[in-house]
Structure formats: C-alpha cells, structure tokens
Amino acid sequence: MRMDNQEQDNASNGLKHLWTDSEDDVLVDCLVQLKVKGRFVVDIGFGGGYVGKLEEMLKEKIPVTNIKAHPSIWSRLRTLKHQWQIVHNMIYDANTSGFGRDPVNKCIKAEDAVWEQYVKGNKNAGKFCNRKLRHFEKLAFI
C-alpha cells in the first residue's frame, strides 16, 4: 500500500483520512487481537492507551501508513461503533421485527415495507439497506 501525495497532504493538514476497506480490515483485526490477548481490556470495553497501541499495530501491518491515533483512529472507531449499533438495534431491539442478517452476503434483509416504516423513525438506518456489513460479527465480539 502506498500513500499518494494527496493522502500525505491530507494527513499533514489535519484533513479527514479516507479509510480503505483493507485499512478497516486491519483495524478491526487489531481490535480483535487486543481483545483476545486481554490487552487494554476492562469490564465494559478497552482501557486507556489502546488507541495508541492500535496506531503501533497499524504501522506494523501497513508500514507506509500515516494513520494517527488522534484524530483518525479514534474517529474511525466511533464511526464503526455507531454503524454497528444501528444495525444491532435493527436486528435485536425488542421494538423491531422483520429484520434479519444474510450471512452469505453479509447484509441486513427485510421486506421493503419494513425498511420504509423503520427508516421513517430512524433516518440513519436507510443507508444500510442492501449494504454489506463486513465486520458485524467481529465488532459484536469486541
């Protein structure tokens, strides 16, 4: 993986890092490793210092990266958590029905009428219709 000049400029100017699928894969795999090894794990998640450790782990696995703990990794973790919560609520919330997970295509499935009704009260959920959710199981484990 090679960082082009635009990405370097973005990183040095503090502009938002645009995460690739492969970077997301590595980030989530690193989180799983931290969880399995028990490093930085506390009762309800990860303890202090784990984002810095993730920066080190990403640098090891993607040597040419310039992804920093703050703001890039921290921001991406918040985004992944937010997306996971939306999907989790669609599938498992007591007040929802008609949603399921397609384990083959790794996406949410529901009848069109169910989607339409749910999105009326949950605007952020609409973008998950037929969208692949690559890390749902791993994020649930974490």
- pLDDT of 65-96, one tens digit each? 889 999 999 999 999 999 999 999 999 988 78
In whole angstroms, what is the distance from residue 127 CA to residue 114 CA?
14
Q: What burial class does residue 25 get, using C-beta atoms within 10 Å of its C-beta: 0-12 exposed, 13-18 middle, 19+ buried? A: middle
pLDDT band at residue 103 using 50, 70 and 90 as cut-offs: confident
Rounded Cα distance between 80 and 133, Å, is: 10
Residues 111, 41: Cα–Cα separation, whole Å: 39
Enter the tokens of residue 75: 């921001």
Mean pLDDT calculated for residue range 135-139: 92
SS3 category, 107? strand
Average pLDDT over the chain reads 85
- 122 has pLDDT over 80: yes
**Which residues neighbour 92 within 8 Å (Cβ) at sequence distance 6 or greater?**
none
Confidence of residue 43 (pLDDT cuts 50, 70, 90): low
Beta carbons of 57 and 35 less than 8 angstroms apart: no
- Please state, as a whole number, how many other Cβ atoms lie within 10 Å of the Cβ of residue 91: 14
Mapping DSSP to helix (H, G, I), strand (E, B) and coil, where does residue 109 land? strand
Model pTM score: 0.81
pLDDT score, position 139: 92
The candidate with the shortest Cα–Cα distance to 19, out of 73, 85, 69, is 73
Backbone dihedral region for residue 11 (phi beyond 0: left; psi -120 to 50: alpha; all else: beta): alpha
Q: Tell me, what's the pLDDT at 5?
A: 36
Question: Is the model's pLDDT at 39 over the cut of 70?
Answer: yes
